[in-house]
Amino acid sequence: MNVIVCLKRVPDVAEIDLQVDASGKSIKTEGLPYVLNDWDNYALEEAIRIKEKTGGKVYALTVGEEADEEVLRRALALGAEEALRVWDPSLREIDPYVIALLLSKTIKDNAIPFDLILTGVQAQDDGYAQVGPILAELLSIPHVTLVNRLELQEKRVKVKRELEGGLEEELEVELPALFTIQSGINEPRYVSILGIKRVAKKEIKVLDLSALKLDPGEVLPKIKVEKLFPPPVGKGAEILKGSLDEISEKLLEIFEKGGVI
């Protein structure tokens, strides 16, 4: 089976004091570490597993600038056959609809043959959880979000979806279809630096708006970020300070007051 997997490179903001830039609409990105979006990592692993099991090809797609090719290299190192990147300097305001539109045009114009399209459930930066289902709609194929198990059958797939509070549902879906992959569905394999070096020269197809026969006026966002700001913090925690010993002593006091010990 042929699988398209859509990937996004995102800043890893754990332990980082994020700053809003002069536009007020985005963050200062200088010096931030970047990673493959966690959910996409699971989607990529799932795509590779399907290929290994059934044969066929994996196509990795991303919308972004040259630096974003890093995530495509990772896919190539894992065994993806082709990688495509979509970008155009005229793209300024991007929302999930624009990303999905570019991906759908890329898939159609390049006549990429696919049985399944996989994306992550959401991106760890903006967390919209929209690109996957929008892409499915633009391609007129069914979609299932929050998938935590895929069981391939002849022309269909049996999937498990994660609902709330530990509940799951089981669905049967006709192929071709799009699935947004939930974290924990598999155990993504490790990619060595050597493995990535090995595919450094492999071609990544780059497409701009004219290559996709799109006019900038057709690529307009449906929603716009007006500003970013620090979230309201409420009262916040009382931070216990001092040496490790002093902190432990304070904790013991708290436990004693709470009747724990």
Partner 1 sequence: MGKVMVLVEHRKGEIREITYEMLKKAQELDKEVEAVLIGEDLSELKQKVRPYCSKLITVKIEGLNEFNSEPYQQILSQLLTQRKPKILLIGHSSQGMDLAPSLGVALGCGVITDVVDFGFQNGEVWAIRQVYGGKLSAKVKASSETVILTVRSGSFDPQGLLVLEGEEEEVSFPLAPFPYKRFLGFLEAPKAEVDITQADIIVSVGRGIGGPENIPLAEELAKALGGVLACSRPVVDKGWLPKERQVGTSGKTVKPKIYIALGISGAFQHVAGMKGAQMIIAVNKDPKAPIFNVAHYGIVGDVLQVIPNLLNKLKGRKK
Of residues 85-114, which lie at the interface with partner 1 (CB under 8 A)?
Answer: 96-97
CB nearer partner 1, residue 206 or residue 252: 252
Residues 6+ apart with CB under 8 A from 88: 208, 209, 216, 219
Closest separation between CB of residue 57 and partner 1, Å? 24
Q: Is 9 helix (H, G, I), strand (E, B) or coil?
A: strand
Which position among 5, 44, 71, 136 is part of the footprint of partner 1 (CB under 8 A)?
A: 136
Tell me: does residue 63 bind partner 1 (CB under 8 A). Answer: no
Q: Which is nearer to partner 1, 53 or 158 (CB)?
A: 158
- The half-sphere exposure of 162 on its side-chain side, counting CA atoms within 13 A, is 14
How many Å apart are CA 94 and CA 206, to the nearest integer?
A: 18
Report the nearest approach of partner 1 to the CB of residue 260 (Å): 6
User: Among the candidate windows 59-67, 68-76, 107-115, 144-152, which touches partner 1 by CB under 8 A?
Assistant: 144-152
Q: CB under 8 A: which stretch of 12-20, 60-68, 77-85, 110-118 binds partner 1?
A: 12-20
Question: Which of the residues 236 through 255 are near partner 1 (CB under 8 A)?
Answer: 236-240, 244-245, 247-249, 251-252, 254-255
Among 9, 160, 209, 212, binds partner 1 (CB under 8 A): 160
Say if residues 59 and 114 touch (Cβ distance below 8 Å).
yes
Strands 177-181 and 143-152, by their bridges, are parallel
Query: Does residue 170 bind partner 1 (CB under 8 A)?
Result: yes
Amino acid (1-letter code) at residue 230: P
User: Residue from 169, 189, 192, 218 that binds partner 1 (CB under 8 A)?
Assistant: 169
Question: Which CB sits closer to partner 1, 108 or 197?
Answer: 108
**Count of residues engaged in binding partner 1, rule: CB under 8 A:** 82
**Concatenated DSSP letters for 154-191?**
SSEEEEEEE-STT-EEEEEEESSEEEEEPTTSS-PPP-
Of 88 and 125, which CB lies nearer to partner 1 in the complex structure?
A: 125
Q: Contacts by 127-132 with C-beta closer than 8 Å and gap 24+?
A: 128/95, 128/96, 129/180, 130/96, 130/97, 130/100, 131/6, 131/96, 131/99, 131/100, 131/103, 132/6, 132/100, 132/178, 132/179, 132/180
Using the structure block, give the residue that is written with the tokens 């760890």: 124
> Which range of residues in 84-92, 189-197, 211-219, 228-236 is near partner 1 by CB under 8 A?
228-236
Residues within window 184-213 making contact with partner 1, judged by CB under 8 A: 184, 187
Report if residue 142 touches partner 1, rule: CB under 8 A: yes
For residue 103, CA distances in Å to 4, 8, 14, 193, 257 come to 10, 12, 29, 28, 58
Give whichever of 152 and 225 is closer to partner 1, judged by the CB atom.
225
Closer to partner 1 by Cβ: residue 200 or 237: 237
